[in-house]
Structure 1
């Protein structure tokens, strides 16, 4: 999460399999609502976003990516847990190198020892209907 007044540069992966996408599940305690976002993470100083994407997938779910293609840059202003956030998102489209990732229902991973997350496949129609919330909403333009 951002420090107050900080703009965070992150990289996210749009991984699609037919009518579903691979996302991470999050929860906002202030809004008491669950949301979903593409998997990825922070870009470190001196690191190219392409390299950060591959590193994050290795660290979080031990996955290699292939067919990596740059899509766009998204500026995301949001409120999370009652605090203003500001991200610059480098968005890539890619595939899993190992087909086993297309067979799984979900994976639990840890960003930090106290913060566990779940990544899973979700049908795009559940986001389109409003049943589930995908963030940032501008992400729909690339599905």
Structure 2
């Protein structure tokens, strides 16, 4: 989450396998709501968004990416944990280089010592039906 008054630049990777996408599970304790988002993370100063995407996947789940293609830029204004957030997302479509990731149902990864997250494959139909919440909602335009 960004500091108050700060705009955060992210690089996220949309990985699709047939009718399912690979996403990270999040939880907002104030809203008491589970949500899902493409994996990736912050772009460091002096780093391209593509390099950040590859670094984040390597750091978080030790995965190399292939067939990386820029999709577009998304501006995301949101509220998380009772605080307003503002993100500029550089969105990429990509594939896992190692086919083993397509066989997984889910995996646990750490963004830090205290923040563990779950990544999993979810059928796109579950998002479209409203059963699961995909954020930001504009991601639907890229599916």
Partner of 2:115: 115
Q: List aligned pairs for 1:21-100, cutoff 5 A.
A: 21-100=21-100
Per-residue deviation, 1:61: 0.2
Per-residue deviation, 1:73: 0.2
- Superposed CA deviations along residues 35-66 of structure 1, whole A, max 9, x for unmatched, are 00000000000000000000000000000000
Structure 1: 5+ residue stretches without partners: none
Aligned length: 143
1:104 aligns with 2:104: yes
Aligned-partner Cα distance in 2 for 1:115–1:89: 21
Structure 2: 5+ residue stretches without partners: none
CA RMSD across the alignment: 0.3
Counterpart secondary structure, 1:55: helix
Aligned-partner Cα distance in 2 for 1:112–1:18: 31
Aligned-partner Cα distance in 1 for 2:110–2:67: 26
- Superposed CA deviations along residues 90-110 of structure 1, whole A, max 9, x for unmatched, are 000000000000000101000
User: Taking structure 1 as the reference length, what is the TM-score of the superposition?
Assistant: 1.00
Partner of 2:12: 12
Aligned-partner Cα distance in 2 for 1:46–1:140: 30
Counterpart secondary structure, 2:111: strand
Per-residue deviation, 1:122: 0.2
Per-residue deviation, 1:7: 0.1
Counterpart secondary structure, 2:125: helix
Per-residue deviation, 1:79: 0.2
Aligned-partner Cα distance in 2 for 1:52–1:12: 9
Counterpart secondary structure, 1:98: coil
